[in-house]
Amino acid sequence: MSQLQHNREHLLHLLHAHQREHGFISDEAIVVIAKRLELPRAQVESVAEFYSFFSRTPHGKFDILFSNCTSCGDRSLMQRLCLLLHVEQGVMRDDGRASISETSCIGMCDHGASALINDRPMTGIDEHRIEAMTELIEAEVVVDEWPSEWFEVNDNVRCAGLLLSESFESGAALKMVTVEGVEPALEKIKHSELRGRGGAGFNTAQKWQFCREAVGDAHYVICNADEGEPGTFKDRVLLRSHADAIFEGMTLCARVIGAKQGFIYLRGEYRYLLEHLESRLEARRNRGLLGNRVLGVEGFDFDIGIVMGAGAYISGEESALIESMEQKPGHPRIRPPFPVTHGYLGQPTVVNNVETLAAAAMIVTHDDHWFNGVGTEQSHGTKLLSVSGDCTRPGIYEHPFGISIRQLLDQCGAEDVQAVQVGGPAGRLVHPSHFDHQIAFEDVATGGSFMIYNHSRDLLVVILNFTRFFRHESCGFCTPCRVGTTLLNNGMEKICAGHGTVHDLDEMKRTALIVNRRSHCGLGVTAPNAIIDGLKYFPELFEAKLLSRDMEPEFDLDASLAEARRLSNRDDAEAHL
């Protein structure tokens, strides 16, 4: 199957195309698509219902999804637009013109309040823009004719290091491998001690070596561009401005492990980058950097296709991503076996993060010490950090590992800082007493998110936002995560509403430990982190919200009888419980 045909015939793509044309995915569409792809109807239906960007009920001509992220979201603006357009959240307006809802972080945290409208990111939303949007929607002005500045997405690179400061020459790493051979290239990556930049930090050369040695009918390379961690947008910048380095890293990996096919799994929120990425791939094919006999090397055949996600945070987990690529719901697999031996279609597969692949390509074009000459003893090279929240200079900062949290706060213009969330909701909530800790695998590890909260924020509301995120994004595969994230969210809502007790805090602690220790994958393991850190480092915030009595029931029976008392004109002691 050609790449063009593959891109068009993938289940996720067909479902998206149908929804864009008809506004939703009908039962009839499920049957037709299942027959076209020769897949079981139940499989197609389960995929349509698993991913949040697919809908089985009609959406409006103008379909707007507001981010609910603490950095790029503003719920009040969404409510204002709903009011102006007379739209109920999550329900299409009667005339079919508009539908408004919310979604998880869309990777625009350095651009203020943002939303997706018909798959396009709109940034810098404020009250004035909400009113202008209302007029355009009521006048049925197509989105392509809206002011172009509303859709501007800038890189906002504030500090460039090894990866961002150099202009990468397409084909440079591949040409070097052609001259010097595959083994020296793998040795360079090995000596650099490059570790995965997605957060897990697994040794890259070791992963490639394991896959290379694994027995299979075919080997595959997958670039994980499903950047779903709230507060993270570094991959967006790399995909937009450094795509050739990413594709070169994939092709380099293919040469090492003997792959003929690669894929980039692009998150649905970055669909606006699809045309740009496709054009860069075609340019590489035209230059002989992809396709048959890459750079004229006999037997070196490799091409890259793009698979679009559809709004599922869990698909960032590598085995869930592979399930999604195989046209199934993105449920994490039981491991072992690992993808390097049993990955895509059951074959040996390397799954690397966007930043990791770009770094690998650039490492091969330099000497051994270019990369491992900076950083710390256990964390070599630089790290791209997505800085957002309460600071005057949000954006991308590339620093050698070892920079302290305090140094980064000073550089981005953050003042009166109450806390920093490093690594997104799945990471760590850092107290000011720990601001001298370093960004490094051996200290404060991160996939790249750095969210700042000053004292104007209610930190408990921030933590509540994270618990809602995990409750929504749990794939439901395992009970500890499916039930536990709901219980944790309910507990935080009770605390924030001022109805919590010491008993509720104890229950949350116990539940958090169960979710952390018993969940099937990393989502569940990390889901309670913000609550655990909040209770440990900010206990006074929780205690200030507690009721004085030991326990408050979930259901207030006496309050429920208020209406009966009013109707019977009784308010004496006997009418109360």
Give SS3 for 478.
Answer: coil
Edge-first strand listing for the sheet containing 303-308: 303-308, 261-266, 220-225, 349-353
27-57 per-position pLDDT tens digit: 999 999 999 999 999 999 999 999 999 999 9
393-408 per-position pLDDT tens digit: 999 999 999 999 999 9
Does position 81 have pLDDT exceeding 60, yes or no? Answer: yes
| Phi, psi for 115 (deg, rounded to 5) | -155, 165
For residues 577 and 342, the model is more confident at: 342
Pair 295, 288: CB distance under 8 Å: yes
279-326 per-position pLDDT tens digit: 999 999 999 999 999 999 999 999 999 999 999 999 999 999 999 999
Residue 549 is predicted with a pLDDT of 52
Nearest to 160 by CA among 375, 395, 367, 379: 395
- The Cα–Cα gap between 524 and 485 comes to 8
* Three state DSSP letters for 360-417: HHHHHCCCCHHHHCCECCCCECEEEEEEEECCCCCEEEEEECCCEHHHHHHHHCCCCE
Give me the mean pLDDT over the 125-135 stretch: 98
Assign a CATH topology to domain 62-154. Glutaredoxin (3.40.30)
Give me the mean pLDDT over the 373-379 stretch: 95
> Options 3.40.50.40, 3.40.630.30, 3.10.20.600, 3.40.50.920; which CATH number does 382-455 get?
3.10.20.600
Does position 2 have pLDDT exceeding 50, yes or no? Answer: no
Nearest to 280 by CA among 318, 241, 317, 315: 241
Structure tokens at 159: 């500090």
Confidence grade of residue 268 (pLDDT, cut at 50, 70, 90): very high
* DSSP output for 163-198: TTSS-PPTTHHHHHHHHH-HHHHHHHHHHHT-B-TT
Helix H or strand E segment including 323: helix 318-325
Edge-first strand listing for the sheet containing 449-454: 157-159, 395-400, 382-389, 449-454, 417-422, 428-430
Assign a CATH topology to domain 158-372. Rossmann fold (3.40.50)
Buried-exposed string 389-419: b where 16+ CB fall within 10 A, e elsewhere: bbbeebbbbbbbbbbbbbebbebbebeebbb
147 to each of 102, 134, 271, how far by Cα in Å? 23, 14, 20
Span between the terminal Cα atoms of the chain, in Å = 71
- What does CATH list as the number for 460-543? 1.20.1440.230
Confidence grade of residue 5 (pLDDT, cut at 50, 70, 90): very low
Helix H or strand E segment including 225: strand 220-225
State the virtual CA torsion across 278, 282, 287, 290 in degrees, nearest 10: 80
Using left for φ > 0, alpha for ψ between -120 and 50, and beta otherwise, residue 119 falls in: left
* DSSP output for 190-204: HHHT-B-TTSS--BH
Confidence grade of residue 158 (pLDDT, cut at 50, 70, 90): very high
Does position 363 have pLDDT exceeding 60, yes or no? Answer: yes
101-125 per-position pLDDT tens digit: 999 999 999 999 999 999 999 999 9
Residue 525 is predicted with a pLDDT of 95
Query: Domain map of the chain by residue range?
Result: 3-50, 62-154, 158-372, 382-455, 460-543
Task: Provide the CB-side half-sphere exposure for 272 (13 A, CA).
Answer: 19
For residues 191 and 1, the model is more confident at: 191
Residues near 359 by beta carbon (within 8 Å), at least 6 away in sequence: 162, 163, 194, 197, 249, 371, 381
Please return the burial class of 128, using the count of CB atoms within 10 Å of its CB with bins 0-12, 13-18 and 19+: exposed
